[in-house]
Amino acid sequence: MGLVGIERLKGIVGAENVKDNKADLYVYGSDASVHEAMPSIVVKPTTIEEVQSIMRYANSELIPVIPRGSASSTSGHTVPIDGGIVMDLKGMNKILEIRPQDIYCKVEPGVIDDDLNRALKPYNFFWPPAPASSRIATIGGEIGANASGLRSVKYGATRDVVLGMRVVLANGDLITLGSNTRVTTAGYPIERIMIGSEGTLGIVVEATLKIIPLPKLRCLGIAKFNKVEDAGNAVTNVISNGASPSMLELMDNIGITAVNKNLNLGLPDVAAIILFEADGMIKESVDYEMEKIKNICEENKGFDIEMSYDVKERSRIYTGRKKLFASLSRYKEGIICTDLADDMAVPNSKISECAYMIHEIAKRNNVIMSVYGHCGSGVIHTKIMFDVTKKSHWDDANRAATQLYDYVHSVGGTTSGEHGIGLSKAPFWKKEKADSLNVMRAIKKALDPNNILNPHKLQDAPDDWVTATKLRYIAK
Ligand SMILES: Cc1cc2nc3c(=O)[nH]c(=O)nc-3n(C[C@H](O)[C@H](O)[C@H](O)COP(=O)(O)OP(=O)(O)OC[C@H]3O[C@@H](n4cnc5c(N)ncnc54)[C@H](O)[C@@H]3O)c2cc1C
């Protein structure tokens, strides 16, 4: 970016909120994915007016703008593959209102999920998406990716608990979407299109979030299984038999080993475990749910089932689950955990089969692939783990990802149930959505005619991302 542009941006947000030295640009060139690219400049607005001015300038000069929260995205969502302005929104981090009687709160986009929940606790409310990254994930990023997590099986994903928002469009206009009410009708629900749009349609500068009364009680159970397929069947049957867990997580032995190695948690060394939780206001109703889930696990060959209301024990297990992704990179010396295949969702009856297929495809292609995730919502996570310094291993990993997504689509599943598309998963997702890509392109064109907002993502992402983008690893 030329001197004039830099000065213009400094004039908008102040020199202290503009970064253009190489070290900073490098840091802002990657997220939790395998991709990287250098931005031209980083700006950190703190007000809506500043966001509007940046967008007006960028639109007039046709400069790409990539909105960014904490960049914990796993597939290259925030990687600026065309350079341009990375807009760091973490400085807009005020909780504007908490209105328990109206059951909503209003926040700026840079508020961190855990911080919001800490602020809601004294009011006996919570905001439920709870991605495993809640310690760093911003509300803007959760909206951008339609994040979901540990409790989505009962309370839904981000899209289910956002009532409205204010958005700065590509041309700098500020619009208000949705409402403050629990129901609204008529007109196109554009706020819902914004959720999961990965920063391609507008900059969310304020969000109205539906908050939920905090349950008085939570009970956590662990069931062991000798086969991951049995654990998958248990998940299917818990959901289809009308139980109402507030958490239903599966973890295979790869995940268990990684977490034990990294955190010394002492999780049982079995083929798979299910972590299940019920919550509520009355102990009898929580006990009833827990007993129901326990029985279904036992009917599906679950054994040694333990259940506890103990807060310390629960927080020890939640920590293990939340740090599973990070732990996987320590599973074995010399391998790195990648998100080439990541967070597909399958119909409820296919969880066991999908878990089996992940391990089978890993064997066929000489890579390691874990099975875990918020399976109660149908989301099965995997990671493809391999030696990223070897070119031939990338070929193995890409073949494994292709085979897995072909399987997922063949059973009516979807490419991403949780983390979003970014760059790595775009070829598979574009295949899945082939007949609606042009409608998405028309929406993008209507809202961002100059294609400056996070360009080359989602429907416009390159099909051959391995050669079209720069990877963070050098493979020979
Ligand atoms: C260890 C780990 C665990 C994870 N666990 C989960 C999980 O359980 N569930 C889950 O869903 N995800 C998970 N993720 C993925 C990721 O953390 C979530 O998607 C999270 O919501 C992203 O938040 P962020 O602030 O880092 O957003 P970013 O990564 O910065 O941005 C996400 C997307 O939103 C866009 N964006 C950001 N802010 C705005 C804004 N204000 N307006 C418009 N667009 C915006 C960006 O351009 C990008 O496309 C995990 C990631 C890691 C590294």
Q: Chain-wide mean pLDDT for the chain? A: 94
Centroid of chain to Cα 149: 8
Centroid of chain to Cα 16: 30
Q: Distances in Å between the alpha carbon of 459 and those of 1, 6, 197, 357?
A: 27, 31, 10, 27
Output the DSSP codes for 349-418: GGHHHHHHHHHHHHHHTT-EE--EE-GGGTEEE--EEE-TT-HHHHHHHHHHHHHHHHHHHHTT-BS-SS
pLDDT at position 287 is 97
Spacing, Cα 66 to ligand 1 middle (Å):
13
The candidate with the shortest Cα–Cα distance to 258, out of 134, 112, 385, is: 385
pLDDT at position 469 is 78
Structural domains in the chain plus CATH codes: 217-328 (3.30.70.2190)
pLDDT at position 3 is 84
Cβ of residue 64 lying under 6 Å from some atom of ligand 1: no
Asked if residue 58 lies in contact with residue 66, where contact means CB atoms within 8 angstroms, the answer is no
Sheet arrangement for strand 336-338: 336-338, 384-386, 368-369
For 175-189, write each residue's pLDDT tens digit: 999 999 988 877 899
pLDDT at position 348 is 95
Nearest CA to ligand 1 atom 44: 199
Query: Quick check: helix, strand or coil at residue 138?
Result: strand
Residue 155 binned pLDDT confidence (cut-offs 50, 70, 90):
very high
Nearest CA to ligand 1 atom 39: 140
Nearest CA to ligand 1 atom 5: 132
pLDDT at position 204 is 98
Structure-token pair, residue 366 = 């000489």
Asked if residue 301 lies in contact with residue 271, where contact means CB atoms within 8 angstroms, the answer is no
What is the DSSP pairing of strand 379-381 with strand 212-213? unpaired
For 419-475, write each residue's pLDDT tens digit: 999 999 999 999 999 999 999 999 999 999 999 999 999 999 988 877 777 888 888
The candidate with the shortest Cα–Cα distance to 36, out of 70, 68, 83, 2, is: 83
Cβ of residue 145 lying under 6 Å from some atom of ligand 1: yes
pLDDT at position 176 is 97
Work out the number of other CB atoms within 10 angstroms of the CB of residue 217. Answer: 14
Cβ of residue 68 lying under 6 Å from some atom of ligand 1: yes
pLDDT at position 28 is 97
Residue 172: partners with Cβ closer than 8 Å, 6 or more residues away: 52, 53, 55, 56, 59
Q: Distances in Å between the alpha carbon of 326 and those of 17, 261, 263, 378, 379?
A: 30, 12, 11, 22, 18
pLDDT at position 186 is 77
For 223-253, write each residue's pLDDT tens digit: 999 999 999 999 999 999 989 999 999 999 9
Asked if residue 117 lies in contact with residue 98, where contact means CB atoms within 8 angstroms, the answer is no
Question: Largest Cα–Cα distance in the chain?
Answer: 69
Q: What is the mean pLDDT of residues 304-320?
A: 89
Ligand 1 atom at minimal distance to the Cα of residue 205? 41
For 286-302, write each residue's pLDDT tens digit: 999 999 999 999 999 99
Spacing, Cα 69 to ligand 1 middle (Å):
7
Spacing, Cα 90 to ligand 1 middle (Å):
12
pLDDT at position 63 is 97
Cβ of residue 326 lying under 6 Å from some atom of ligand 1: yes
- Could you tell me which residue, 130 or 444, shows the higher pLDDT? 444
Q: What is the mean pLDDT of residues 390-410?
A: 95
Asked if residue 457 lies in contact with residue 421, where contact means CB atoms within 8 angstroms, the answer is yes
Q: What is the mean pLDDT of residues 214-220?
A: 95
Q: What is the mean pLDDT of residues 392-402?
A: 94
pTM equals 0.96
Asked if residue 134 lies in contact with residue 120, where contact means CB atoms within 8 angstroms, the answer is no
Cβ of residue 418 lying under 6 Å from some atom of ligand 1: yes
Whether the pLDDT of residue 197 is over 90: the answer is yes
Whether the pLDDT of residue 221 is over 80: the answer is yes
Structure-token pair, residue 82 = 């065309």
Mutation to probe ligand 1, out of 35, 72, 138, 259 (largest number of atoms < 8 A from CB):
72
Q: What is the mean pLDDT of residues 196-208?
A: 98
Long-range contact list for 400-404, CB < 8 A, 24+ apart?
400/340, 400/341, 400/361, 400/362, 400/364, 400/365, 400/367, 400/369, 401/340, 401/341, 401/428, 402/428, 403/361, 403/364, 403/365, 404/341, 404/344, 404/357, 404/358, 404/361, 404/369
How much helix, strand and coil, in percent to the nearest 5, is found in the chain?
A: 40, 20, 40
Asked if residue 89 lies in contact with residue 42, where contact means CB atoms within 8 angstroms, the answer is no
Residue 260 binned pLDDT confidence (cut-offs 50, 70, 90):
very high
Residue 321 binned pLDDT confidence (cut-offs 50, 70, 90):
confident
Q: Distances in Å between the alpha carbon of 389 and those of 339, 369, 384, 385, 476?
A: 16, 18, 14, 12, 6
Spacing, Cα 140 to ligand 1 middle (Å):
8
Mutation to probe ligand 1, out of 50, 94, 133 (largest number of atoms < 8 A from CB):
133
- Could you tell me which residue, 342 or 228, shows the higher pLDDT? 228
Nearest CA to ligand 1 atom 7: 131
pLDDT at position 422 is 92
Q: What is the mean pLDDT of residues 366-372?
A: 95
Structure-token pair, residue 175 = 């619009």
225 pairs with which residues across the strands? 272
Q: What is the mean pLDDT of residues 13-20?
A: 97
In the block, which residue shows the tokens 């996570």? 381
Cβ of residue 67 lying under 6 Å from some atom of ligand 1: yes
Residue 69 binned pLDDT confidence (cut-offs 50, 70, 90):
very high
Spacing, Cα 106 to ligand 1 middle (Å):
19
In terms of DSSP H, where are the helices of 250-334?
A: 253-263, 283-299, 311-322, 324-328
Q: What is the mean pLDDT of residues 68-89?
A: 96
